[in-house]
Amino acid sequence: MSFTDQKFWHKVQNFSRKMGCPLLCKALQLYYVFRDVNTPRQAKIAIVGALAYLISFIDAVPDLIPLIGYGDDLAVLAAAMAAVAAYTKDEHRVSAETQVTKLLPDCKCVD
């Protein structure tokens, strides 16, 4: 499965509660780093790989398994965030936090 904005937003909007706060925060932060025109190509490649894994139905641990289903996704996103940390700006964090609050009002993103 390839990454597209449409597939990403479908997953985020329809599964945000199941994904939970930490995963949603990381996914959205990576998305905003990816959308930044100043983010280098190699960083965008790492981000696309991680976000494609998130939206894929093929998973090491199926997302439908309660409590642990998104654990592998969280690990992949955390690794991608570490890889692109130098390109992550405050504006990306703020954009992610704003969107997360719309989807999960009680959720607060922390680094």
> What pLDDT, on the 0 to 100 scale, is given for residue 70?
78
> What pLDDT, on the 0 to 100 scale, is given for residue 56?
83
The residue with greater pLDDT, 32 or 108, is 32
Check whether 102 has a pLDDT greater than 80: yes
Q: What is the pLDDT of residues 50-85, one digit of tens each?
A: 999 998 876 545 555 555 667 888 999 999 999 999
> What pLDDT, on the 0 to 100 scale, is given for residue 62?
58
Task: List the one residue out of 14, 3, 12 whose CA is nearest residue 47.
Answer: 3
CB atoms within 10 A of CB 103: 15
Q: What is the pLDDT of residues 1-53, one digit of tens each?
A: 578 899 999 999 988 988 889 999 999 999 999 999 999 999 999 999 999 99
**AA letter at 70:** Y
